[in-house]
Amino acid sequence: MFVDRSMTRDVITIREDATVLEAKGSLEKHHIHHLPVVDEARRLIGVVTDRDVRSALPSGFLNDAESAREPERISRLKVGDIMTRSPVVVSPTDTLEDVLLLMERMPVSAFPVVDEDKKIVGIISTRDLMRAFITVLGLREPGTLLCLVVENKLGQMKRIVDAISEERIPFGSILVARTWDEGKRAVFPYLLTQNVAHVKRKLEGMGFELLNPMQWALEKPEQPDEK
């Protein structure tokens, strides 16, 4: 899945000579959290966020003299004074997996998308990512998620798919994840039906271990201290 298929294309931008109050108004008007800052050729030169704007505006802890000076200071404050210059960007040909890993490493919730000329062509946010994966996983359709623990060897996935397909039950999606038992994997079929009792019995009869999906641990469980 590529970024250009899931990014927001109609990007609201701002110039660096705009005032901070103009940036605040644009963020509020469009209900967004990030404003790419561009030059006259729409080349990206920075990003300003709602957090940047809040930090630049006066707090409630000013004395009378400081409060009196604030209107003049704010009127002179420009986007270029508070924006993040040379922000991290992604390409339209990057994958959504690339973006997820980047978001995990960095404390940001959106990345500008730029072409080879550094011109802004989109923005991709956590909301865009969620929408993409909800669609891919078929979660908009009602169904049931199963969790099977299987041996990590060839042919296991085919056995599961064949067994479920024989019952004429459609798949929304199927995922494979790690488990913390050596030599095993967790398989998550999302089935587009609520009637799965007979499928569970069939899979258990084939020797598969079924878990409640909520019992699967994303992180490795802590081992008790040995005494």
Domain boundary among 102, 134, 166: 134
* Same structural domain, 163 and 105: no
pLDDT score of 107: 84
- Residue finishing a domain among 134, 166, 188: 134
**Looking at residue 174, which CATH number applies to its domain?**
3.30.70.260
| CB distance 122 to 4 below 8 Å | yes
Based on the fold, state whether residues 9 and 110 are members of the same structural domain. yes
Regarding whether 13 and 104 lie in a shared domain, the answer is yes
**What pLDDT, on the 0 to 100 scale, is given for residue 180?**
79
pTM of the entire predicted model: 0.75
- Look at residue 222 and tell me if it is in a domain: no
Same domain, 148 and 130: no
In the chain, the largest separation of any two C-alpha atoms, in whole Å, equals 79
pLDDT in tens, the chain (227 residues): 899 999 999 999 999 999 999 999 999 999 999 999 999 999 999 999 999 998 888 654 334 444 546 667 787 899 999 999 999 999 999 999 999 999 999 988 999 999 999 999 999 999 999 999 888 888 888 999 999 999 999 999 999 999 999 999 999 999 998 887 889 999 999 999 999 999 999 999 999 999 988 777 666 656 555 54
For tokens 């922000």, name the residue.
87
At residue 57, the pLDDT reads: 80
Measured CA distances, 107 to 30, 79, 103, 123 (Å): 23, 21, 7, 16
- Domain span including residue 91: 3-134
Q: Identify whether residues 24 and 116 lie together within a single domain.
A: yes
Residue 121 shares a structural domain with residue 149: no
Question: What is the model's pLDDT at position 61?
Answer: 38
- Domain harbouring 81, CATH code: 3.10.580.10
47 neighbors 112 (Cβ within 8 angstroms): yes
- How many structural domains comprise the chain? 2
Nearest to 138, CA basis, from 166, 103, 175? 175
- Contact present, 153 and 207 (Cβ < 8 Å): no
